[in-house]
């Protein structure tokens, strides 16, 4: 592998982490979904580049799935949901932006230290890839934890799944069946969560998950 292919792969994976940070920064739902679409596009590029350098044609399918579903179908669907729910003006971070960004930096540091140490014998590309993937997963979890709104928790979950796909494609030889099944499960999760969102909304006039707890008659 020459220097350039490695650098491009590195750039794309690093870009994915950067976009994750952008997601952390957004406090409006539309902006968050737009950034998620960018996240998916960068993921598709990264996967396609992996397909090119590994000469693994089935990875193009993965890239296409990422592009079509995650960059187009799901963001458009979420846009519609938000409009129908009328929550596009909500500011809904539970923790301040500054501490969240600092926590994100800490998580990236942790995953770098950990992954580079654990995989010390492996192929350098795979090592970097895994380290970035773990960062993205942790940042996705952080998004889920720091948001109140069910929609943004869905977005956090999906960006987490992007990290999983990145890790999977970095490791050579993952069969296509697994990726397709992961993609489908994500899609189904999206549909189910979408249905639930409307159900919650019908019942509570809000998709703030705090309303559920009020309904349970419990205190925070």
Partner 1 sequence: MISDAAVLLWGVASLLGTAVLAIAVSRTPGSGTRLVYGLTLGISAAALLVLAGRILEDPVTPSTAVLPVGLPWIGAHFRLDALSTFFLVVINFGGAMASLYGLGYGSHEPSPHRVLPFFPAFLAGMNLVVLADDAFTFLLSWEFMSLSSWALVIVHHRERENARAGYIYLVMASFGTLALLLAFGLLSGPGGNYTFEAMRAAGPTPLVATFVLALMLLGAGSKAGLVPLHVWLPLAHPAAPSHVSALMSGVMTKVAVYGFIRVIFDLLGEPTWWSSIIVLFFGGLTAVLGILYALMEKDLKRLLAYSTIENIGVIFVSLGLALAFKANAMPSAAALALTAALFHALNHSFFKSLLFFGAGAVLTATGERDMEKLGGLIHRMPQTSFVFLVGCVAISSLPPFNGFVSEWLAFQAVLQSPDLPQWGLKVMVPAVGGLLALSAALAAACFVKAFGITFLGRPRTSAVEHAHEADRYSLAAMFILAALCLLAGILPGFVIDGLSPVTLSLIGSRMPVQMAQPWLSIVPIAESRSSYNGLLVFVFIAISASAAVYVIHRFASHALRRGPAWGCGFADTVPGSQYTGVSFAQPIRRVFGTFVFRATERVEMPAPGETRPARFNLEIHDVIWETLYLPIGKALDFATDHLNHLQFLTIRRYLTLVFLFLIVLLLVLALWP
| HSE-CB of 196 using CA atoms within 13 angstroms | 14
Q: Is 114 in the site for partner 1 (CB under 8 A)?
A: yes
Q: Is 189 in the site for partner 1 (CB under 8 A)?
A: no
Site size for partner 1 (CB under 8 A): 24
Rounded to an integer, what distance in angstroms lies between the CA atom of residue 34 and that of residue 13? 19
Q: Is 141 in the site for partner 1 (CB under 8 A)?
A: yes
Q: Is 107 in the site for partner 1 (CB under 8 A)?
A: yes
Q: Is 138 in the site for partner 1 (CB under 8 A)?
A: yes
Q: Is 212 in the site for partner 1 (CB under 8 A)?
A: yes
Written in H, E and C, the secondary structure of 110-136 is: HHHHHHHHHCCCCCHHHHHHHHHHHHH
How many residues comprise the chain? 220
Place of tokens 């397709």: 180
Tell the smallest beta-carbon distance from residue 26 to partner 1 (Å). 18
Q: Is 199 in the site for partner 1 (CB under 8 A)?
A: no
Tell the smallest beta-carbon distance from residue 116 to partner 1 (Å). 10
3-state helix, strand, coil in the chain (%, to 5): 80, 5, 15
The site for partner 1 (CB under 8 A) is made up of: 94, 107, 110-111, 113-114, 117-118, 138, 141-142, 144-145, 147-148, 153, 209-210, 212-213, 216, 218-220
């Amino acid at each position: 592998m020459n220097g350039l292919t490695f650098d491009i792969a590195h750039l794309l994976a690093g870009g994915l982490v950067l976009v994750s940070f952008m997601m952390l920064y957004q406090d409006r739902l539309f902006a968050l979904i737009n950034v998620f679409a960018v996240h998916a596009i960068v993921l598709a590029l990264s996967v396609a580049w992996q397909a090119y350098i590994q000469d693994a044609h089935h990875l193009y399918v993965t890239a296409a799935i990422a592009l079509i579903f995650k960059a187009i179908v799901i963001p458009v669907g979420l846009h519609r949901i938000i409009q129908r729910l009328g929550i596009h003006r909500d500011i809904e971070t539970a923790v301040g932006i500054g501490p969240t960004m600092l926590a994100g930096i800490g998580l990236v540091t942790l995953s770098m230290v950990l992954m580079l140490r654990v995989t010390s014998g492996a192929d350098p590309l795979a090592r970097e890839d895994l380290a970035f993937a773990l960062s993205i997963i942790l940042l996705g979890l952080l998004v889920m934890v720091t948001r109140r709104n069910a929609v943004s928790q869905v977005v956090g979950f999906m960006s987490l799944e992007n990290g999983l796909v990145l890790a999977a494609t970095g490791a050579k030889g993952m069969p296509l069946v697994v990726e397709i099944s992961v993609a489908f499960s994500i899609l189904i999760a999206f549909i189910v969560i979408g249905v639930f969102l409307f159900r919650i909304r019908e019942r509570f006039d809000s998709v703030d998950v705090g309303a559920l707890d009020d309904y349970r008659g419990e205190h925070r």
